Chains A and B, each alone.
Chain A
């Protein structure tokens, strides 16, 4: 090591920098910076892309101090369970301080990617006006802004290439934000406004598409009608990725005929989504481009029934990614299995969210896909029922799973045939899929499944548990066994203080731990917070009586803890206590 180090030190920094350029993953760059002081220094001055998985683990000042040349920042805010309304609205995750700090310090920001953060119009305006080279804004599951903020981005970011809004709650003020792109703006490569609810200026949209000759990805919202789509496709046959708005028209009409012809000319489309409202008799218009599709998302398309989906999918022989509703049925999944031999990722979402559930997929559909699609490595599957036998078969057929998320609509349903817990099934999955990084379990589960997870899931980084387990032992198996665990989120499971406090050091090796409706008490959380100053242990209190000092024996409804370098956050609302 000594010899190696002295040899490496003879290389000028430019050489090291050049070598580091080839490292694209954050983890590699992080590892490299730990080797020695000079590598740390070279690395930090040359790092352009920074990923911060928990915005409260560090603060903007530290980011800027360490990486003064950062150009691209990715930030994640709220805990994952915020997606399912388990985190109150004002919990936190504000991007403004980051933008403000970077603006003040002359950071040459070009790209900002945010997930589950609160983004105000003021932040967007500040962003738009502070960074002359800003090129790319990607917002996923964020909220707090309106179309006014988008107008500021459109008006001011002269070199904007990418504006990608995925599943955000946007206050649509029905302004003319699309018209705010100046006539001189021709740089757009990617525009996704599918999540906006209001009318967009159709004329402005058409003109924008016409002048942005490099446009590759376009996802429209519900308000864009079919005939506008047709005009757009005529202007932009070079698109790679298309999200339609409304796909409703009279299939005997001229407009529809024109659309069919326009679509045929779009030979570069590889990814298709949208169909936010659809007349199934119009679907055949897309058949000509189905042969080349690698990605298809029909999960927001209401009312396409199994037979129509099957007809469509029969054309999609090159599909690698499919997001669909469970209306496809087991029969439809059979067709997927026999047609889509290149399939890598499958997500089957529930179509009936409030009813008693007449979900059309069961374990049979999953088994069929696992048998027919050997490249399958990523799964999200909402189903009516499951069996151990099915999971064992799936595990045998597909040992390459990286992400495996199974969600039974009834969270504690046992094996549909044997009435046993689903421990053995999930056990088979973790044993077979040696590269598994993400797992969500559901159904009736005892501590046994966690024994298996702790024993076999060596690469597991994220685990989601709900309504599972019998005792602290379950959680202990996981904490002791999964060495690479980064995120653990648990709800409604009987894990308590013994499990929480068994290995407090473990939490510094993880990004975060969420526990809600479990058995941990205030006392235990306080103890943990005292022992581990570099963790923020947050308690979320939603009851009316916010007691000054609750009894140590009181159970904690919601606890979220995460490692941090910067101590308790100063923007926590009243109902969040950092112990």
Chain B
């Protein structure tokens, strides 16, 4: 238990009664915060022994000389570990949704849909079918959307026209820039084997 031996107890009294202002993480504040207490506020051992998933992020930062503006302290803010482990706040970008334009060949105007609303391809395709009053059929890796006049395609980040359904849903959501419902011979070309 290195650090437990308080050789500078007399020091501590002085520091303990000294009022300092400032945020934890600045030199002054580190002293104020650690002055009144044990120097090892959160030793790595104690963090590990606690064994809880979420809090290992809160390591002792007392010895960091160029710390982040706010030091992470074990057990602060005092939130139950259950809550820490189970609340996953969404990032800001998810607030507005991922709206992409949807064009259909021959339609007078385009539509827009929010990809975030759908949990996967089946829901998306069903939504498109409802929106445009058509059938898209089932996806197969080999033959695309067989048995349908229409094939859903999308333009990806590189500007290429891709068939909807090849890549995992999450990857699709982040790379899809706009949707295009293709029909007729063009569609068959897309769906055919390469």
Binding site for B on A (CB under 8 A): 81, 83-89, 141, 167-169, 195, 248-253, 279, 281, 299-300, 302-303, 305, 325, 327, 349-354, 356-357, 382, 407, 409-414, 419, 421, 440, 444, 446, 464, 466-467, 469-471, 491-494, 517-519, 541-545, 547, 550-551, 553-555, 557
Contacts and interface: CB of A to CB of B under 8 A. Distances in A.
Contact of B33 (A299, A467, A543): A467
B150 to A, nearest CB: 19
A410 B23 contact: yes
Contact of B43 (A281, A351, A470, A543): A543
B147 to A, nearest CB: 23
A167 B77 contact: no
- 6 cross-chain pairs, A with B, having the tightest CB-CB distances, nearest first: A303-B90, A543-B1, A494-B36, A84-B75, A494-B16, A85-B50
Contacts of A84: 74-76, 78-81
Given A84-B79, A195-B82, A491-B75, A543 B45 contact: yes
Given A279-B116, A412-B32, A517-B38, A85 B81 contact: yes
Contact of B36 (A251, A493, A543, A550): A493
Interface in B1-36: 1-2, 4-6, 9, 12, 16-17, 19, 21, 23-24, 29, 32-33, 35-36
Interface residues of B, number: 66
Given A248-B119, A542-B43, A555-B6, A353 B79 contact: yes
Given A88-B50, A168-B82, A466-B76, A250 B6 contact: no
Contacts of A88: 46, 49-51
A169 B82 contact: yes
Interface in B133-152: none
Given A86-B74, A544-B45, A281 B83 contact: no
B1 A89 contact: no
A555 B49 contact: no
A333 B21 CA distance: 30
Given A88-B50, A351-B89, A354-B72, A554 B4 contact: yes
B116 A557 contact: no
B89 A356 contact: no
B68 interface: yes
Interface string B40-69: 110101110111101101000000000011
A554 B3 CA distance: 10
A470 B70 contact: no
Nearest to B38: A517
B171 interface: no
Nearest to A419: B21
A331 to B, nearest CB: 15
A398 B127 CA distance: 51
A488 to B, nearest CB: 15
B185 interface: no
A551 B75 contact: no
Nearest to B80: A83
> In the complex, which of the residues A352, A356, A494 has the most CB atoms of chain B within 10 Å of its own CB atom?
A494
Contacts of B194: none
Given A303-B89, A471-B16, A412 B49 contact: no
A353 B95 CA distance: 19
A169 B85 CA distance: 10
A181 B27 CA distance: 60
Contacts of A248: 119
Given A353-B84, A554-B4, A86 B77 contact: no
Nearest to A86: B75
A493 B36 CA distance: 6
15 contacts: A84-B79, A167-B80, A167-B83, A251-B117, A327-B89, A349-B87, A353-B87, A407-B77, A409-B77, A467-B33, A470-B16, A492-B41, A494-B12, A543-B2, A554-B6
Given A414-B21, A543-B45, A85 B74 contact: yes
Contacts of B117: 250-251, 279, 281
B132 interface: no
A250 B123 contact: yes
B86 A410 contact: no
Contacts of B1: 541, 543-545, 547, 554, 557
